[in-house]
Amino acid sequence: MSASTEAGVVEAVGKELFIGGKWVAAESGRTFPVVDPATGKELCQVADASPADGVTALDAAVAAQSDFAKMAPRERGEILRRAFELLMQRQDELALLMTLEMGKPLAESKGEIAYAAEFFRWFAEEAVRIDGGYATAPNGSGRFLITKQPVGPTILITPWNFPMAMGTRKIGPAVAAGCTMVIKPAAQTPLSMLALAGILAEAGLPEGVLNVVTTTDSGGVMEPLIRDGRARKLSFTGSTGVGRKLLEQCADKILRTSMELGGNAPFLVFDDADMDAAIDGAMQAKMRNIGEACTAANRFYVQRGVVEEFSRRLTERMQALPMGRGTEKDVVVGPLIDDKAVDKVTELVKDATDRGARVLTGGSGVDGPGHFYQATVLTDVPQEARLNHEEIFGPVAPITPFDTEEEAVAKANDTEFGLVSYVYTSDLKRALRVCEALEAGMIGLNQGIVSNPAAPFGGIKQSGLGREGGSVGIDEFLETKYIAVAL
């Protein structure tokens, strides 16, 4: 990949705030750098919004809400359909942009663009399927008329690990439902969202419907908008700790909320599992996005009869993964997002080894530029190790043996989180028992990837509220109104 090609895709993206359909500088004139995590070098500077800029963005969303809510559902759907087509036409350039700012290998970035685009195609079709109801009152004296309306201006906050898909997963249903938006992407990866804003404008989204605010002061800019009272919904993807703070703020004006928070996914392998499928699924569930995913397999529980074989084969696969900058050919293990991420993974691995875990491969960071950590497999990891209770967000697979089905389920559920679990077994009865017993919003049964725009994504316990995607995804952006009709 040439330096001029990389510079070209960065140059093509707007670097200012996108408010009211226009690119505008931050009112203070401040900017902040976007850095390539593989090299530590600055890619560009983008506008650094102040609280006043946030209020201006909300003003624009509020002003646009009434007219946008009246737009025909088919027309809103066609905007999303055109945006889907533009994303797919520009998949290569957008993938390179994502790799430069986030670090994931190009092949994965291309996959994310396709995944992100699919949310627009799905919700383009859902826009015309918003329904209601008509019923006779039980005593026959009247009628019930049920209708659904857009909830109103929304605040959307997205993370850095899937900088395009987490945006389309929220923007798609908001547009389909008729809601205007203020969206704040993560400061580490603002370029993908800024590119998406340009694409939506090109697809015909009216001015003021989508407003993008980039900032290094997330709390200072977003809290006033949450407490303002004019926004009626918050959708957030990020850590459970931040989610708790946002829920407290939303309570002030009783904002409707949907949140996809942290995960601690267990990956259960029983001794009757198809071992080839289990290893392939483990690689998918662990190494997708370099392990920087809330759905990443965080804890591997393997039945004692097959733990040695599973550990050996997983180690062989992890050792064979090429590491490097995501733009390089065949690279699978790119950099983590920043030094803080590397430090966290390092701490977790040290804690496990201090408690008796053995390193089968990897186990350390990498000297030189960029934020790299080796693909790592640990075995004999005790249940009390921090790796089994905290989200790793890195390429580390900790393996703990178990003996019985009951023990496996108990260990899997021993967490405050409940986003996703993975189960590998060839026994149908066991599969049903275990899937029903696991405390998670999603289960991967003999497969290592659960995310799909056509399926309801979300967790239970402290992994979040509500669902994104699927036929229920649009409901988060709709209010139900009941009209009592006298006869």
Q: Which residues are catalytic?
A: 260
Rounded to 5°, the CA angle 180-182-188 comes to: 145
Query: Which residues have C-beta within 8 Å of that of residue 264, sequence separation ≥ 6?
Result: 298, 299, 388, 389, 390, 391, 415, 416, 417, 419
> Look-up: residue for tokens 């790299």?
372
Asked if residues 271 and 406 have their Cβ atoms less than 8 Å apart, the reply is: no
Q: Residue 134's beta-bridge partner residues?
A: 145
Q: How many whole angstroms separate alpha carbon 277 and alpha carbon 269? A: 10
Beta-strand runs (E) in 76-180: 133-136, 142-150, 154-157
Q: Which residues are CB-neighbours of 353 under 8 A, at least 6 positions away?
A: 359, 363, 378
Residues 6+ apart with CB under 8 A from 163: 98, 101, 102, 185, 186, 189, 190, 191, 192, 193
Whether the Cβ atoms of residue 340 and residue 348 lie closer than 8 Å to each other = no
Question: How many CB atoms sit inside 10 A of residue 138's CB?
Answer: 8
For residue 283, give both structure tokens: 């690689």
Which of 290, 314, 316 lies closest to 300 in space, CA to CA? Answer: 314
DSSP state of 388: G
Give Rg (Cα) of the chain: 23
Q: Cβ neighbours of residue 283 under 8 Å, at least 6 residues apart?
A: 314, 317, 318, 448
- C-alpha–C-alpha distance, residues 164 and 23, integer Å: 19
Closest CA to 285 of 423, 386, 401: 423
As a whole number of angstroms, the distance between CA 205 and CA 197 comes to 9
The dihedral built from the CA positions of residue 76, 79, 85 and 86, taken in this order, carries a sign that is negative
- Rama region for 335: left / alpha / beta (φ>0; ψ in -120 to 50; rest): beta
